[in-house]
Amino acid sequence: MKALYFDNASTTPVDPAVATKMMSCLAIDGFFGNPASTTHGYGWMASEEVEWSREVVADSIDADPREIVWTSGATESDNLAIRGSFEALSEKTGRHRIITLASEHKAVLDTCSNLDADVVVLKPRFDGSIDMEALRRALTPQTLLVSVMLVNNETGVIQPVRDIADMAHASGALMHSDLAQSVGKVVVDVKSLGIDLGALSAHKVHGPKGVGALYVKRDQSIKIAEQQHGGQHERGMRSGTLPTHQLVGMAEAYRLASLDLTTMFSRLDEFRLMLEGACELIGGIRFNGRGVPHIVNLTIEGVEAEMLMAAMPDIALSTGSACNSATLEPSHVLRSMGHSRKEGLSSIRISMGRFTTREEVVQLIQSLQRAVIGLRSQ
């Protein structure tokens, strides 16, 4: 029997409707042409699919289609946003400081640390939220960029991106936000968030892996240096033949996610309540941060997460960050919130998606109960 899937923050299965849409752009009888080919109908038709996708993705975040730059995913988008803006603007403006949060995704943290920039990494509070006073102190007239995600991928914690953007703008800095875990979970509206740059990914919301986008606000002062050279696609910001099937897949996934947003949120909120109730009964379980219901992060006293995984072969979930699962280092997100190494190694992330059912949650609760009680009595 296959394990029940509770690792949706790591990736999600592609929605069958999305797969069907993608298949219409692959073979000879579909829109397989190069969207940049202007000499024949194959190219024109593929280009129409690309522009339809651009409009759908733009619409779903309240952007203009001209503000969408296709990429290979949120990792590339974060790199393009941070590296690209730093290369294009730091010399010109004399601003060399980038401010970010220690609980950000490695795509942001490692990009920052690989730049010759004055990087300030703020420590979040114990509940995972940003310390706005610390941000105020770190913002100088030399600050080029502030990068803080909306929804955290390990804890689900939601940051006050609008307030952060307002503060960044007040000192003349740009605001970037990693939105990979936000689309399909909360309303993402780049205008009311007030951000200048936003990283998107398709595969966290039942779209395909290997595709994403960067939202780049249309504004004279915002410039992005391209990170790969080639055919000057995407208005010179990102070269490479556009993968039509990937883009329609992302668009269809975003369209379906926004149709379903409020009903899914309340369904998953109910599931989270079931989990919270069950954990209270088991006892000695702490919830780390509270944000979107899709992502529940727990520390289980007296139980090592690795042992717990082994004791629950019927459940697929994540200990700490999936990206770190090759090494036995506790999650950098929990560590940054002030949790000890030991607590980090006793923590798991349960993440749900559109296809999670009540029956699955009931089985998860039973398995968790059995495994925790079993391990504690050893």
Ligand X SMILES: *Cc1c(COP(=O)(O)O)cnc(C)c1O
Report the catalytic residues: 323
Q: Which of 8, 33, 60, 73 binds ligand X (CB under 6 A)?
A: 73
Q: Based on CB atoms, which residue is closest to ligand X, 103 or 367?
A: 103
Q: Which residue is nearest to ligand X (CB)?
A: 73
Residues 79-108 that bind ligand X (CB under 6 A): 105, 107
Residue type, 31: F
Element (H, E) at 134: helix 132-138
List the strands of the sheet with 197-201, edge to edge.
Answer: 68-71, 212-216, 197-201, 174-178, 143-147, 97-101, 118-122
Q: Based on CB atoms, which residue is closest to ligand X, 47 or 177?
A: 177
> Contact, 207 vs 14, CB < 8 A?
yes
Per DSSP (E only), the strands in the chain are 4-5, 68-71, 97-101, 118-122, 143-147, 174-178, 197-201, 212-216, 285-287, 295-300, 315-316, 347-351
Six-digit token pair at 30? 């579909």
| Three-state secondary structure call for residue 293 | coil
Q: Of the ranges 46-54, 72-80, 89-97, 310-318, which one interacts with ligand X (CB under 6 A)?
A: 72-80
CB of 179 to ligand X, least distance (A): 8
Q: Which of 4, 68, 69, 74 binds ligand X (CB under 6 A)?
A: 74
CB of 107 to ligand X, least distance (A): 5
CB of 117 to ligand X, least distance (A): 20
Q: Does 206 bind ligand X (CB under 6 A)?
A: no
Residues 295-314 that bind ligand X (CB under 6 A): none
**DSSP-derived secondary structure letter, 236:** G
Enumerate the H helices of 64-105 as residue ranges: 74-93
Q: Does 243 bind ligand X (CB under 6 A)?
A: no
CB of 178 to ligand X, least distance (A): 5
Q: Does 75 bind ligand X (CB under 6 A)?
A: yes
Q: Does 33 bind ligand X (CB under 6 A)?
A: no
Q: Which residues pair with 350 in a beta bridge?
A: 296
Q: Say how far apart CA 374 and CA 316 lie, in whole Å.
A: 19
Q: Which of 79, 85, 129, 201 binds ligand X (CB under 6 A)?
A: 201
Q: Based on CB atoms, which residue is closest to ligand X, 89 or 150?
A: 150
Q: How many angstroms from the chain centroid is the CA of residue 110?
A: 15
Which residues lie closer than 8 Å to 358 by C-beta, 6 or more apart?
A: 271, 274
What residue ranges bind ligand X (CB under 6 A)? Answer: 73-75, 105, 107, 149, 153, 178, 180-181, 201, 203-204, 212
